[in-house]
């Protein structure tokens, strides 16, 4: 009976459900990239998350230790990229996964620490009573962040899409949603033919940064092209030049240069 009541406590349910949710987020990323080689790095983390979730469900110290450590590490990793990732408002799947992953990680960390203190110190029944208001506040803050972020993101996505569609274009456009591997096109046109001596300009009409980097050589590299930014390069010799995005390697294009 004690186990059943323990399972209903927030320091059990929040880390357990949060870890399962993150496993689903990782699975979504793998599926959305058609199980690209780089996405397989998520597999050991998914196993670790599931093992920690099981330990928390059983109210084991090792489960709470694992949950605290992995959520803390991912909070640091996610925190360094959250602002750039949240800028991808025109990619709904990526935006929503980041919008929810960060607060969920925060909730997992907070409740794992509370749960760890409870199982490790074997606190009395009065301690959880004092933690309930604080726990409720954390949940409300997280829900407010997600709902508020979703509303602001939808408005920003609409505005950004309208501005980009009305902005000037270059020779080649990095299309909206190019960061998603399921996008039907990444660079438009994907193959562009010019004469030697021509300067080609790429313009980023997507909601996140991309690069234009020569494939198989160090001939040209744009660095990060922010939303609305551009990059130009002059092709002086005839040949076929393949390029890609170093941030999203599945994004590839080609410039065919003919003799002048």
pLDDT tens-place string over residues 118-144: 887 755 444 444 444 455 555 555 555
Residue 202: name the closest of 217, 184, 221, 183 by CA: 221
The answer to whether the CB of 57 falls within 8 A of the CB of 17 is: no
Q: What is the pLDDT of residue 140?
A: 56
Comparing 1-5, 7-11, 66-70, 231-235, the range with the smallest average pLDDT is 1-5
Q: What is the pLDDT of residue 8?
A: 60
Q: Which CATH number fits the domain that encloses residue 196?
A: 2.60.40.420
| Whether residue 81 is found in the same domain as residue 201 | no
Q: Which tens digits make up the pLDDT trace of 8-22? A: 688 888 899 889 988
The answer to whether the CB of 231 falls within 8 A of the CB of 250 is: no
pLDDT band at 238 (very low <50, low <70, confident <90, very high): very high
| Whether residue 159 is found in the same domain as residue 51 | yes
| Whether residue 199 is found in the same domain as residue 136 | no
Transcribe 69-132 into DSSP letters: HHHHHHHHHHHTTHHHHHT-TTSHHHHHHHHHHHHHHHHHHHHHHHHHHHHHHT--THHHHHHH
pLDDT band at 171 (very low <50, low <70, confident <90, very high): very high
Q: What is the pLDDT of residue 208?
A: 80
Q: What is the pLDDT of residue 227?
A: 82
| Whether residue 126 is found in the same domain as residue 191 | no
The answer to whether the CB of 29 falls within 8 A of the CB of 174 is: no
Q: What is the pLDDT of residue 90?
A: 54
| Whether residue 146 is found in the same domain as residue 177 | no
| Whether residue 124 is found in the same domain as residue 140 | yes
Which pair of structure tokens corresponds to residue 255?
Answer: 């410039």
**From the centroid of its chain, how far is CA 148?**
18
Q: What is the pLDDT of residue 67?
A: 93
| Whether residue 151 is found in the same domain as residue 208 | no
Residue 62: is its pLDDT beyond 50?
Answer: yes
Beta strand extents in 125-190 (DSSP E only)? 172-174, 187-188
Domain span including residue 194: 172-258
| Whether residue 161 is found in the same domain as residue 230 | no
Tokens 């408005």 map to which residue?
155
pTM for the whole thing?
0.57
Sheet containing strand 230-235, edge to edge, reads 187-188, 172-174, 198-204, 230-235
| Whether residue 199 is found in the same domain as residue 145 | no
Total domains in the fold of the chain? 2
The answer to whether the CB of 206 falls within 8 A of the CB of 179 is: yes
Mean per-residue pLDDT of the chain: 78
Comparing 57-71, 108-122, 220-234, the range with the smallest average pLDDT is 108-122
Would you say how long the chain is, in residues?
A: 260
Which range, 106-120, 147-161, 218-232, has the best average confidence (pLDDT)?
218-232
């Amino acid at each position: 009976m004690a186990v059943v009541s323990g399972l209903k406590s927030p320091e059990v349910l929040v880390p357990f459900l949060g870890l399962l949710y993150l496993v689903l987020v990782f699975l979504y990323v793998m599926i959305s990239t058609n199980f690209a080689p780089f996405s397989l790095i998520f597999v050991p983390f998914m196993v670790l998350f599931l093992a920690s979730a099981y330990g928390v469900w059983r109210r084991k110290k090792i489960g709470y230790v694992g949950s605290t450590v992995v959520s803390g590490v991912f909070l640091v990793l996610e925190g360094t990229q959250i602002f750039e990732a949240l800028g991808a408002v025109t990619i709904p799947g990526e935006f929503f996964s980041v919008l929810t992953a960060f607060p969920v990680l925060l909730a997992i960390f907070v409740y794992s620490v509370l749960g760890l203190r409870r199982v490790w110190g074997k606190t009395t029944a009065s301690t959880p009573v004092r933690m309930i208001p604080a726990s409720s506040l954390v949940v409300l803050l997280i829900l407010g962040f997600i709902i508020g972020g979703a509303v602001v993101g939808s408005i920003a996505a609409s505005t950004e899409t309208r501005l980009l569609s009305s902005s000037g274009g270059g020779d080649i456009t990095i299309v909206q949603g190019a960061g998603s591997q399921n996008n039907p096109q990444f660079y438009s046109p994907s193959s562009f033919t010019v004469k030697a001596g021509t300067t080609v300009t790429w313009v980023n009409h997507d909601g996140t940064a991309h690069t234009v980097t020569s494939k198989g050589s160090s001939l040209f590299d744009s660095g990060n092209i922010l939303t609305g930014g551009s990059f130009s390069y002059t092709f002086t010799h005839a040949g076929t030049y393949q390029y890609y995005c170093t941030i999203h390697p599945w994004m590839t294009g080609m410039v065919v240069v003919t003799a002048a």
